[in-house]
Structure formats: C-alpha cells, structure tokens
Amino acid sequence: MKKTKLTLAIGFAIALAACSQQPQQQLPAGVKLIEQSAPSTGIHIPYKKYQLDNGLTVVVHEDNSDPLVHVDVTYHVGSAREEAGKSGFAHFFEHMMFQGSENVADEQHFKIVTESGGNLNGTTNNDRTNYFETVPANQLEKMLWLEADRMGFLLDAVTEKKFEVQRETVKNERGQRIDNQPYGRLFERVSEAMFPQGHPYSWPIIGYMDDLNRANVNDVKAFFLRWYGPNNATLTIGGDVKAEDILPLVNKYFGTIPRGPQVTDAAKQLWSLPDTRYISMEDNVHLPLLYISFPTVYANHKDEAALDILSEILGNGNNSLLYKNLVKTQLAVQAQVSHPCRELSCEFSLYALPNPGAGKNLADIEKIIRDSLLEFEQRGVTDDDLLKVKAKMEANSIFGLQSVSGKVSQLAASQTFKGKPDTIADDIARYNAVSKEDVMRVYQTYLKGKHSVVMSVVPRGQKALIAHADTFTPAKRDFGGPSTTKAEDLQVRKATDSFDRSKQPVAGANPAVGLPQTWTTDLGNGIQVLGSQSLETPTTSLLLKIPVGAYAESADKAGITSLMAGLMNESTKNYSTEQMSLELEKLGSSISFSSSDSYVEVFVSSLSKHLPRTLVLLEEKLRNPAFSAEDFARVQQQVLQGMQHAEKTPAYLAAQKFNGLLYEGSIAALPNEGTMASVSTLTAADIQNWYQQWFKPAGGQLIVVSDLPQDKVSAELKAQLADWQGQAPAIQVSTGALKAAPATIYLVDKPDAPQSEIRIGKRSLTQDISGEFYKAGLMNYVLGGTFNSRINLNLREDKGYTYGARAGFSGDKYAGVYTASAAVRADATVDSIRQFLNEINQFREQGIKDDELAFMRLAINQADALKYETPNAKLGFMAQILEFNLTPDFVRERNQIVSSISKEEINALAKKHLDTKDMVILVVGDAKTLEPQLAELGMPVKRL
C-alpha cells in the first residue's frame, strides 16, 4: 500500500535538518513562503512553512504514503492565558468550538467529519488548544471550510442555550475525570501550593466550577475575541497533498479572517519555593499516596534534557533507584519519577503508593525517597544511564513518524512553542550532548537542599498516615458575584468574502485504498505467521498470541493466566528483571506480556536494526521465565492492591459488577485479573505448573509488520522460535445461563458520589466478522455508536447530564453483550435511565431514518483510508485475519454489506436485539439518595 519510503538515520550521528530560504514559488496573493526544510539524511519531517497576510502560520508536510490527510489548528492559548477568577475558559471554548458556527449547523461538525470517513477531536492544556481531523485525502477542502468557519464565524452561533448546555457538560467532565476519581484532585491541590497566587498554572485546566458559574456568555465571547485570531494560530496540513495545490484553498477560506489583537509570549522565569509546603487530603482511595514535587526550569531550557535523564535514573524502569528501594523491597506497590515540562514551568515529581503489608506511613516513605536522593549523590551517573535514555529518544522519535497525525502533531507543537516546525534532530542532539557531569549539576542545582511541595493523599478516616502536618493553606478565592460583561463590550471582527461560505464544499471521488500485502511462513511448531512489509519507518512490530486466557481457568484459580503474564515481564532463568530491562532499554526495544479471555498476548517493538538481538531476548522470556519466589510475592501483592484500588474507580466497579450479573456462575463473570480470594491462594508453583501445561506454541498466532523483507524476517523468526515445541490441552468454554432478573435495577453503593455510573444491557451475539454481529453493530451505529448518536445527543448535548453516553455490541467467540452506558450527574440518574430506555425503545419501534442510514454508510465505508496506516493498525487488521481464518478480501465483503444492507433488515435487527424488557440495569452511586428515587421507574431495585 505504501508508495514512498521515508529516509531515516539509523545511528545517532545526525545531520541537523536546517531550514533554508528557497526560490519563491508562484503563490496566491497574500501568502508568502517563510522557509522549507533542506534535504537531510537525519531523522526529520520535511515541511514548508508559509504565512498569510492576517498572520496565520501554515505548515505543510507532503507524504503520499497513504491516501489521507491530517489537519491541525493549534491556537497558542490554554489555561495560562486566563485571568484569576475566570478559570476554565480555554477548555470551555474547546467544547464550544464543536457546537456549530455561522455556516455549520448545530451538532454538525462531528457529523460532517464522521460521514467523511474521518475522526476528530480537540484538546486543551495549559499552553495551547488544538483541533484536528484525519480524513481521506478527497475531504481536505471540507475540513478547511469547517476549521475556517469556527475561526472566523463562530460568535454569532454561540447562544445562551449552547453556553448553558456546555457549562453542564464541563461540570460532568470534571465530575467524571476529577471529582469522582481516586486521587482526582491531586494535581489541582499541588498546583495551588506550587505556584504563587495568580500564577496561570495555579488553577486547573478544566477550571473551578464557581468561576464558570459566575461567567456569562459574553465573557467567553470576549475570551475568544482576544485569543482566537489567525495571528495566534498555526494551521498544519500533512498527508497526500501538494502545497501548491492546497495553498489557494487555505487562502480562500482563512485569508479574509481579520487578524486578532497582538499576542506576545508570556515571560519565562525560574523560581524556587520559600519553604517546603506540606499539604494533605482525605479521599475515597484504597492506598495512600505521597507526591513530592520540585520546581525546576521551563520547556526547552538548556537544563531540561539533563533533568529528564535524572528522572529516568531515579524513578523510571526496573533499574531506577526508587524501584530498587521501594518496589523491589515491597515497601511500595508503585513508585515513579517524572519531569513534565510546560511552556512556563517544569516540575520534578516523585511519587509512591505504599504497600499496606509493609506497615509504612507516608512519613516513612518520604524518608526513603529522600535517602534515595542521597544515594544518587554517592552512586553518580553510569554509562548505561546515558545510553538507555538516548536509545529511548531515538526509538521514540522514529516510532513517532509512523502516522501522518503523529508527524503533523509534532510539526504543530514545535512551530507553536519553538517557532520552527521540525525540531526532532535538535532534540536528539541536545539529549546526546548531556554528560554525566550535567546530570549531577542539575541535581545539585534544582533538587539538593531545595524546597518542594509534599502532598499526602490518604483514605478517609486515616489522617494519621500523612507525611507531615499541613504547613500551607492556599489563599481564599473570592472574585465576587456574577459577571456583568455585556454584549456591547465586545469588539467583534468580521470577514468580508467574495464567495458564499454557506455552501459546503463537495468532495471528489474516494481515494483508492489498497489492502496491506501480506505473506505467510511456517515455523514448524504450530504458530501461524502472517507478515506485511511497511517501508515508512525502519521499525518492526510483532504481536504473538498464545491460546490460553481466562476462559481456561477455574473459579478457584481465576487470574492465574494474568498473573503468569505479569511474571513473564519479570526475570528469566538467565537474566534478572533489572538485567533484562537494561538490555531492552539499550536497544530502545520493548517486550510486553498481557492476557485476555482467550490469549496471552506478547507485543514486541524494535528498531529493525536491533531485531535480531530483540528476538534473542524474546526467546529467553518465552522459554525461560524464572517465576522466582521474590518476583511472585511482589507481583501478587501489586495485583491484589491494584484490585482494591480499582474498586474505588466507579467505571471499573460498574463494568465488573455488570459483567458479574450477566455471567454469574461461570468463569466469564470473573475479572481477567481474578478475585481477591483466588489470587491470594495462588503460589509460584501454581504459576509454574500452569505455564508448563498451557503456554505452548501450537495454535499460536504471530503477526509481523516490518520494513524488512519477508526472507530476512522469516529467517530471524525461525532462528529463535522454530525449536520451541508443544501443544496445550483443548479448552472447553461455558458461559452458563443468565441468572440476573431482567427489567430489574441493581444498585451498588458508592457513598456521596457526585456522579452515577449506569449500565443497561443484556447478553447478546458472539463476535463474527461479516454476519449478524457485524450487522447488528451497523444497526446500532446511529443509536449509540458515534458522537452524533441519538443517545449521546440526548444525554450530553440536549440534557447536559453527562460527558458522554454510548451503546454497542461487544463480544468474542464465546460470549457477547449489548451495553448502554454513561457516567451521569447524580441528580440526573433516574431521568438518564428513563432517557436511555426511551431512546432504545423508540429506535426499536420506529426504526432507522433514511438520513441516518445514509450517514452510517458514508461514515463507515469512507473510513478505509484510516484503517491500515500504521504498523499497529496493520497488526490489528491482520490479527483478525488469523483469528477468524479470513482472507484480506473480507474488508470488501463488509463494505458491500454496509452499502447494501436495507432499512428493513436494520429495523428487523433492532426488533430482535433491542427489547429493553430483556435488559438488566446496574447503577453505581450514592445508594441512600438513589434508592428511593429509582423506585419511581416502576422496576424492582436490588442492592448488590
């Protein structure tokens, strides 16, 4: 499928991709070429950079390897541009920008992109907001029209009603992601203590809800007018395009949008804390958490790279000091160090979750962490410390070039914050230049003897576990009553055009999309191998699936496969965990084991030049796991503590309880990781015996995507894996019969929860590729399978009850379910259930509408260009071929089904599969409030 090959350096001797002035090409009036990348043999992303007269920066990356384009508009505005008392506006506008504009009707942005065969989103951080779409190449003009309309023609469409609905949606998002999550307010509290009052990083990105409640619609309009001008934005387009062809379109749609107010970069300055600030909070958590954070530099400061390497040495991976002193000793379930950087500030942060069995409070953990810093002073920096970080940097840079969206995102961010689109070579060079002395110097400068914020989060009622009594209280926030900003205060800008913007551009013919070319080989041990060559990056990705999973287990041994997979990430007979990790890190490779219902899955990622050595290590992990007593005790405790932690997470709790209701009495009812009872009784000998019995190659599936030719990959695979032999027993799977009562509400208590998790559904079809399961998914698409589905538009966009609601079929070869789900405002729980049931019943009774059927067909069949772009996407596609014994032509068969399925067939499927009288309802929320309210629905309510 790929038509070109991106040339990449293999080693670290990188020639910097310099920018040079080129002869001026014939450009539209009002567009000038600023620079374009010079040819380079190093790791780089070719680009051309232009600027329109209104200040809009345009970056174009030409890459015809796939018939798709990625469009990104990045505005240099995030929460750091807000004023004290007006927090959350940047994030709020991320929501408002999807609500329609002057020439794009309400709720149509998602619909237009989706039916174009694309995907889209927007994100906000402290320093920027971006909006992006990936679509087939023929849809580019439509995307430019959409993005230009919300840049230049948004405000007249921002109504009071939309403002109120999206304000509720943001509250729901905060409830779901922060207030109803374990440790959800950690970073908010740390930021309040870390930064001076009024500093733009001192408030959360999502904002304080009292600030949003105080605001009116004119406040957010004023924020838009201040920051969302073309002169504060970068439009980046990458993919199957030519700059000379698309610049007239860019100029047509964006060129007449008036420039906004002048924007200057915020001043960057280093600062230190005047004292160590201890803060604490009680939370609905299982494990206490200690978080220590030091202020350091700011993004792209000369010391950033050395501080990043220091963080790797202290707390990343199995060779770090915190792992050695806390995790390996089982004093902590988890411990890590990070050095995240933003435009104005970086923080060096260390955290740990103590193991309850160790009997340590957070003061003890703090001492061990500080002793580890002193140990680093004595230990110093080794050659391997530098080598593995630099290998990781090279590998990450190359793997980041596998998708056009990845390349465009890098270009957009680098242009926004560095004024130069492609800085990959610069970044690699600055990490390569870091010396041992540099790492020691930054430790002495920013950590040793310096003040920090120390945050203790403890379970409710266990205040005695905190590291230290609080020594800091944030200043009280009081910014008065409701805003008085008026419409007449706004300085509105208007574009003047010579064409009709209300006319949506018509896309040309869909680009032809070739299926990945595949090859097979025989290892002689029962493993089916399916491979494909992908020339875009010099990388190899493998997915090995061994046919043993949770379905092979008995209830008393539930979780044994998951625990075995976890231990196979640890030591082997010839390598300690630390030695194996170091060997992989020095290659920039990774090998990861995990388990599912039916398989143990092994994912391998390697630069192709290191594939032979990576496969040697893979063979060692596959055939010689140590299952040592020390590893077993540590990993078992991590699993047990993880279970208890997960029980505090509402979405996890709802998923597990709902699954338990549907499959009660069978192995399918139990989590893949097992239960407290089952995992607690497992032994290292059990794991060894399970491995000996079940972990066999026969029946395995190996999928490979590499830039290397078939003969080279086949030879390497056979050299390492061909003499691994054996076959496991056949697996007999039974999922039992439904025992839960349909049309019944099962209630799980989560005291004082600000939101309720809702699950409504039934046992349903097992998975197939082009049969009734697939067709049922097409039927459900407009009901609950996309952003513009009936369910989501009702509960999120119309009612403001939730951040997102959905419904769909899921399954495997043995079991399947239909589930409708959402996390909703606690006070909207009863009506949310009512709305779910109404939407499902109405769809079942009245069927799909003609325009909905057309939308579904366009959305699914035009998305082919996005399905096989990256190696990982190819792995997933090819894994289906092996698991279901298909030929690649199954894609064309499914496309034909989408094109030809009739309204009558869809409606018959709805009648058959969407009877709510057969559905079970589960609610996780505050039972004392909800139980009497749920009775209003006229169904039995049972406590779980």
Half-sphere exposure of 548 (CA within 13 A, CB side): 24
What pLDDT does 692 receive? 98
Residues 378-396, mean pLDDT to the nearest whole number:
92
pLDDT at 580 over 90: yes
What pLDDT does 591 receive? 98
pLDDT at 6 over 60: no
Q: How far is CA 880 from the centre of its chain?
A: 23
What pLDDT does 20 receive? 40
For residue 284, CA distances in Å to 130, 515, 637 come to 33, 49, 21
CATH architecture of 518-721: 2-Layer Sandwich (3.30)
Half-sphere exposure of 570 (CA within 13 A, CB side): 18
Share of the chain above pLDDT 90, in %: 80
For residue 498, CA distances in Å to 252, 285, 495 come to 9, 60, 10
Which sequence spans correspond to the domains of the chain? 277-401+425-465, 518-721, 745-943
Residue 46 and residue 61 in contact, taking contact as beta carbons nearer than 8 Å: yes
Token pair for 341? 């950087």
How would residue 729 be classed by pLDDT, with cut points 50, 70 and 90?
very high
What pLDDT does 301 receive? 97
What pLDDT does 569 receive? 97
Residue 10 and residue 29 in contact, taking contact as beta carbons nearer than 8 Å: no
More confident residue, 65 or 127: 127
Superfamily of domain 277-401+425-465: Metalloenzyme, LuxS/M16 peptidase-like (3.30.830.10)
Residue with tokens 């408002």: 96
Half-sphere exposure of 814 (CA within 13 A, CB side): 19
CATH 3.30.830.10 fits 745-943, yes or no: yes
Q: Give the angle 329-334-338 at the CA atoms, nearest 5°.
A: 120
Least confident of 205-214, 273-282, 429-438, 510-519: 510-519
pLDDT at 498 over 90: no
In 56-176, DSSP assigns E strands to 57-62, 68-75, 119-124, 129-136
How would residue 25 be classed by pLDDT, with cut points 50, 70 and 90?
low
* Rounded Cα distance, 711 and 702, in Å: 16
What pLDDT does 863 receive? 84
Sign, CA torsion 773/779/781/785 = negative
User: Residues 859-880, buried b or exposed e (16+ Cβ, 10 A)?
Assistant: bbbbbbbbebbbbbbbbebbbe
pLDDT per position as a tens digit, 26-64: 899 999 999 999 887 788 999 999 999 999 999 999 999
DSSP state of 341: B
pLDDT at 8 over 60: no
Do the domains at 277-401+425-465 and 518-721 have one common CATH topology? Answer: yes
* Rounded Cα distance, 98 and 779, in Å: 26
pLDDT per position as a tens digit, 891-918: 889 999 999 999 999 999 999 999 999 9
pLDDT at 113 over 60: yes
Q: What is the CA radius of gyration of the chain?
A: 28
To the nearest 5 percent, what fractions of the chain are helix, strand and coil?
45, 20, 40
* Rounded Cα distance, 314 and 320, in Å: 5
Global model pTM greater than 0.85: yes
As a residue count, the chain comes to 944
Residues 748-757, mean pLDDT to the nearest whole number:
93
The DSSP annotation for 632-669 comes to HHHHHHHHHHHHHHHTTSHHHHHHHHHHHHHTTTSGGG
* Rounded Cα distance, 609 and 358, in Å: 44
pLDDT per position as a tens digit, 769-797: 999 999 999 999 999 999 999 999 999 99
Residue with tokens 């060894």: 688
Helix axes 383-399, 424-432, angle to 10 degrees: 170
Neighbouring CB atoms inside 10 A of 4's CB total 12
pLDDT per position as a tens digit, 221-250: 999 999 999 999 999 999 999 999 999 999
Mean pLDDT of the chain: 92
